[in-house]
């Protein structure tokens, strides 16, 4: 809501599709509506926001008609989020092994040893009783990817600036993990980023947002070689 109490259209007329196994990039300046769009795709905008969509579908199922209980059945199972700040997504006071149990079921580390090691989480396998503060930012980002993908096989991953807080070397390993998840699990992805070099590397198509609107959609090479929007 605006200062006068009236409704404000934070995002207007945004329309795109993500094909099976496709990575759709979403770029634009801060405040342009990227995270708001992702929140709408997860039903997480809060009670003060309203999503008005003619079509909001996942594999043919209508999402705009879901109540909160319906959204809970979708989140994590069919649509999963890889957040920007893994330390904020994890409890700082609970060992990482126990947090994996919360999302993946009892004895999660023992049951998923091979998967965790494949994601580069040997340290979590070796030290499940350690707190998140004992691990690096890159390890924690891989951990939240494990939480998002090992408990189910989501059709859609929402990666919201997943490498923005990491140094380039660690970021590259996280991108490799996401590419592996995409390849082995057939997941589609909406990849939100400010890093145009990363976007050109990982995305099949890119949507540019500006002031709450989607102003251009094109393959990376076309977009960066001859953009239509200023």
Q: What percent of the chain has pLDDT over 70?
A: 97
pLDDT for 185: 79
**In the chain, % of residues over pLDDT 90:** 32
Burial of residue 170 (number of CB atoms within 10 Å: 0-12, 13-18, 19+): middle
Cα–Cα distance for residue pair 128/213, rounded to 1 Å: 44
Statement: residue 166 has pLDDT above 70: yes
Tell me the C-alpha distance between 1 and 52, whole Å: 15
Distances (CA, A) of 95 to 77, 100, 225: 23, 9, 47
Please state, in angstroms and rounded to a whole number, the distance separating the CA atoms of residues 25 and 158: 10
Structure confidence by residue, pLDDT tens digits, 150-159: 877 788 999 9
| pTM: predicted TM-score of the whole model, two decimal places | 0.84
Predicted pLDDT of residue 170: 79
Phi/psi of residue 155, nearest 5 degrees: -75, -25
pLDDT at 190: 94
Asked whether the predicted pLDDT for residue 10 surpasses 90, the reply is: no
CA angle 200, 204, 209 (to 5 degrees): 70
Euclidean distance between CA atoms 81 and 160, whole angstroms? 8
6-10, 115-119, 144-148, range with the lowest pLDDT: 6-10
Residue 2, pLDDT score: 44
pLDDT at 19 over 80: yes
CB atoms within 10 A of CB 184: 11
Contact indicator for 140, 132 with CB cutoff of 8 Å: yes
């Amino acid at each position: 809501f605006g200062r006068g109490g009236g409704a404000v259209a934070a995002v207007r007329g945004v329309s795109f599709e993500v094909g099976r196994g496709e990575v759709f990039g979403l770029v634009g300046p801060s405040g342009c509506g990227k995270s708001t769009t992702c929140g709408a795709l997860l039903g997480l905008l809060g009670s003060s926001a309203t999503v008005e969509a003619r079509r909001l579908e996942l594999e043919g199922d209508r999402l705009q008609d879901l109540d909160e209980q319906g959204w809970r059945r979708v989140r994590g199972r069919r649509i999963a989020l890889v957040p920007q700040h893994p330390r904020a997504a994890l409890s700082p006071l609970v060992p990482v092994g126990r947090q994996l149990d919360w999302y993946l079921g009892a004895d999660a580390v023992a049951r998923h040893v091979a998967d965790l090691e494949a994601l580069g989480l040997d340290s979590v396998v070796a030290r499940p009783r350690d707190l998140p503060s004992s691990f690096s930012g890159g390890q924690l980002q891989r951990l939240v990817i494990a939480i998002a993908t090992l408990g189910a096989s989501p059709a859609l991953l929402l990666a919201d600036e997943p490498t923005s807080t990491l140094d380039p070397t660690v970021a590259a390993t996280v991108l490799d993990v996401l590419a592996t998840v995409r390849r082995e699990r057939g997941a589609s992805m909406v990849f939100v980023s400010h890093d145009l070099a990363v976007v050109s590397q990982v995305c099949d198509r890119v949507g540019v947002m500006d002031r709450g609107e989607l102003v251009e959609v094109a393959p990376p090479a076309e977009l960066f070689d001859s953009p239509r929007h200023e």
